Structure 1
């Protein structure tokens, strides 16, 4: 069964249809893999193996992903009857009443949910080391972080527990774990996937649901399943020309690609290994026939961005704590939170409504300034997925908030602006550090152009097939 677990989700679905493996055999193999590997990695914090096996009989034979196992990030991606922790003890004992739209669509397509994956408390940082559940370890090096906030999902997919897991990205939380775990991670355009029925947006529009996978075609197929406007959603992403799965293998044409290896803001030290990853990717894109040269949006260098972005995040976290208090029936005390989150909530509570609106309006102007670069004739921006080299567990210290804040700001310097603009971006596993850890690179397209990202990513994958050494 190891050969089947090494397949991507599209391959596993085909193996089921062809009779190579039964849905039960596939699910049981994934469960065995989790039990064998998760003791070291700590990626899966809630398991539902017996319920998953019992659900197999109710999946229609025509479901396209019948019997393919999947894991859900324990932040967003709500499933009826299951616990929801968000990486924190403040939600202990609570269970979800109904499926989110995305989860309902995945289950209708035949995916079998095996459990929920670890995430930092409330998803507010770039490493998965919550006090509530303990750290998740990177399959490429157990002393290293798998990133965050979708670190549990990324570690599970990289280790072969499942071929695909859900994720979400508010400041880089799909792309950063994908980079650190050697995976494909696409942050969709704002509004591409609904937060309904229980939510409208995440972090004032910064956050987007998505997936981490081992292949471009899995990312495309999974996004096709869950994408689409639902009545009442606050946003509607520009329409795609067709299913993203149909873009895999399509010719992207000759594209104009700008790249950046040194952050124009000036306060982000350049990391040689990260710069090498981008430079090599630029050479690959040029060899594939694209017009590649150093260029980037002028707004990327605006020193005012981190302050406004951080303010909006803090305001949203303060609101989330109020919501959690209502959900569980008693207010959340700041002493119940990890120090980082307690400080963010304090900051959010100290902001006036006017200050919040002014920060959002600043971001509105920033988004237009960023978009001007694509309007000037560029198709893609090539940049680091993570502003620092792969880092060890503990590198973001839980109690030294000044150091933690500075390191986080450097790490998300290339990802968080794309959350603010709502554009799609994809991280691809194209480099390995001298320590043997994966280093991803990021491609950013104009709003609504996931189709272009999938075309180019598939072209890159075909030219330089992704390797997944952590599968064992």
Structure 2
């Protein structure tokens, strides 16, 4: 079977067509199409592919949440919200098989900002338990599949959102990122995934209580202009006065940038040839556009990777030990997935390491800021190798082997979460088998504008592959 025949997508000649979110919003404003028509088309597309993709956690096709401001930039465009974010009247199950959630009593703070952009929410997208894994797989439930090839992972933790956007169900979907969870699925699914600066958007409820807040909210999209439009629309609703405004970025800038190139990993993992080739090709495109690209060293050592896993374990322990109180009295930690339980057990065995790990992690923003003082942008892979087949990272894999596999794959993205710096994943390559390969651009804290400008440049220089072609 050739690669095109393996793909799963819902693109068809309906109200959504091939349009991105900006294009659909323009049509709604002109009266060429109604938001109800778009919602119905997206619901039909979801039904057409859901039996194969398994991307939807909860659907509300009969009663979607509608944006209430016709002047909002993305008014009427259909979307999904990740199932770790509260919307009043809908359950929030955090991807867990350990309990069944009751309907949320109120919208979360970030959900209100998201709805303020005008989007029509059709339901909730799937994620692995508590967003801890880098693949959207489960203990007993079917995995979310990659629409480019259903035998492969679509990444995580925003895997359900990425699968639906890549497959054409909706043009834009909610994602959040605590270790790469916007950028990883974007890389696996051939999408644009911007992890904003820490504090750029309103925090979700869980992020506010973390010892180190490493979660950023955002979206996955198929075009740079959709991501840029969302950032501007979210900023219209609320802007952090401590960060420079981004505004609406509409294209590349003319300034010449210093770009640092990093191919080494903090875990010592070897970058595979498909990934290296995509990064080097991107570097050549930037040089051709007049930017200066030069190799630079990582600002942290392998100790960072060990400290991040320690913190990961702390979060797992907090999640499993408090969910009965905070989420549901029915929560049964014994039914949590293998990764969550393995991380908790690891942290309990090595609890004495936590104070030192937190102390070192809190120094990372300063170390990374020094690096970005000499270069406006850093270019790197998103992941050390291309997306693995389903099962490779499943939570049923023995913990020691699973954590080894995860840290050898997720070797770049966590640094931005601890530093707070923005990073964007762009689909800049494909494997011989037709799977997308992402590259990452990182900028100084608060400088999403530069990332979006470069993303426009790269999208024009090498148009992103389309699943329907």
TM-score, normalising length: structure 1: 0.91
Deviation per residue, 1:168-207 (Å, 9 max, x gap): 1111111110001000001111111222567515572122
Mean Cα deviation higher: 395-404 or 66-75: 395-404
* Distance of 2:237 and 2:343 partners within structure 1: 32
Gaps of 5+ in 2: 1-12
Tell me, yes or no, if the aligned pair for 1:204 and 1:316 is still in contact at 8 Å: no
Partner of 1:396: 393
Tell me if 1:180 matches 2:188: yes
* Distance of 2:287 and 2:28 partners within structure 1: 39
Partner of 2:9: none
Matched ranges for 1:154-193 at <5 A: 154-193=162-201
Partner of 1:382: 379
Tell me if 1:121 matches 2:121: no
Tell me if 1:274 matches 2:275: yes
Deviation per residue, 1:199-254 (Å, 9 max, x gap): 515572122111101111211222233359989xxxx68422441x2x22141510
Q: 1:229 to 1:13 in 2, by over 3 A?
A: closer
Matched ranges for 1:93-242 at <5 A: 93-131=101-139, 133-196=141-204, 200=208, 204-227=212-235, 238-242=242-246
Tell me, yes or no, if the aligned pair for 1:194 and 1:228 is still in contact at 8 Å: no
Shift of 1:399: 2.7
Shift of 1:356: 2.9
Pick from 41, 47, 51 the counterpart of residue 59 of structure 2: 47
Pick from 257, 260, 263 the counterpart of residue 259 of structure 2: 257
* Distance of 1:215 and 1:203 partners within structure 2: 34
Gaps of 5+ in 1: none
* Distance of 1:170 and 1:197 partners within structure 2: 13
Deviation per residue, 1:428-472 (Å, 9 max, x gap): 011011110000100011111111111111121122222322x46
Tell me if 1:15 matches 2:27: yes
Shift of 1:60: 4.3
* Distance of 1:39 and 1:202 partners within structure 2: 36
Tell me, yes or no, if the aligned pair for 1:203 and 1:316 is still in contact at 8 Å: no
Q: 1:193 to 1:220 in 2, by over 3 A?
A: same
* Distance of 1:3 and 1:69 partners within structure 2: 11
Tell me, yes or no, if the aligned pair for 2:125 and 2:160 is still in contact at 8 Å: yes
Matched ranges for 1:17-96 at <5 A: 17-52=29-64, 59-75=68-84, 77-96=85-104
Q: Report the secondary structure of 1:360's partner residue.
A: helix
Tell me, yes or no, if the aligned pair for 1:297 and 1:372 is still in contact at 8 Å: no
Deviation per residue, 1:403-434 (Å, 9 max, x gap): 21111101111111121111100000110111
Q: 1:180 to 1:242 in 2, by over 3 A?
A: closer
Q: Report the secondary structure of 1:148's partner residue.
A: coil
Q: Report the secondary structure of 2:98's partner residue.
A: helix
Shift of 1:303: 1.6
Shift of 1:159: 0.4
* Distance of 1:203 and 1:468 partners within structure 2: 40
Q: Report the secondary structure of 2:151's partner residue.
A: coil
Deviation per residue, 1:115-142 (Å, 9 max, x gap): 1111111111111012364201101001
Q: How many pairs does the alignment contain?
A: 456
Tell me, yes or no, if the aligned pair for 1:79 and 1:100 is still in contact at 8 Å: yes
Higher helix share: 1
Q: 1:93 to 1:260 in 2, by over 3 A?
A: closer
Mean Cα deviation higher: 201-210 or 309-318: 201-210
Tell me, yes or no, if the aligned pair for 1:385 and 1:414 is still in contact at 8 Å: yes
Tell me, yes or no, if the aligned pair for 1:268 and 1:413 is still in contact at 8 Å: yes
* Distance of 2:206 and 2:190 partners within structure 1: 32
Q: 1:370 to 1:329 in 2, by over 3 A?
A: closer
TM-score, normalising length: structure 2: 0.91
Q: 1:329 to 1:118 in 2, by over 3 A?
A: closer
Shift of 1:61: 3.4
Shift of 1:345: 1.7
Tell me, yes or no, if the aligned pair for 2:262 and 2:298 is still in contact at 8 Å: no
Q: 1:128 to 1:102 in 2, by over 3 A?
A: same
Tell me, yes or no, if the aligned pair for 1:180 and 1:437 is still in contact at 8 Å: yes
Q: Report the secondary structure of 1:205's partner residue.
A: coil
Tell me, yes or no, if the aligned pair for 1:192 and 1:228 is still in contact at 8 Å: no
Partner of 1:308: 307
Q: 1:142 to 1:192 in 2, by over 3 A?
A: same
Q: Report the secondary structure of 1:210's partner residue.
A: strand
Q: 1:71 to 1:132 in 2, by over 3 A?
A: farther
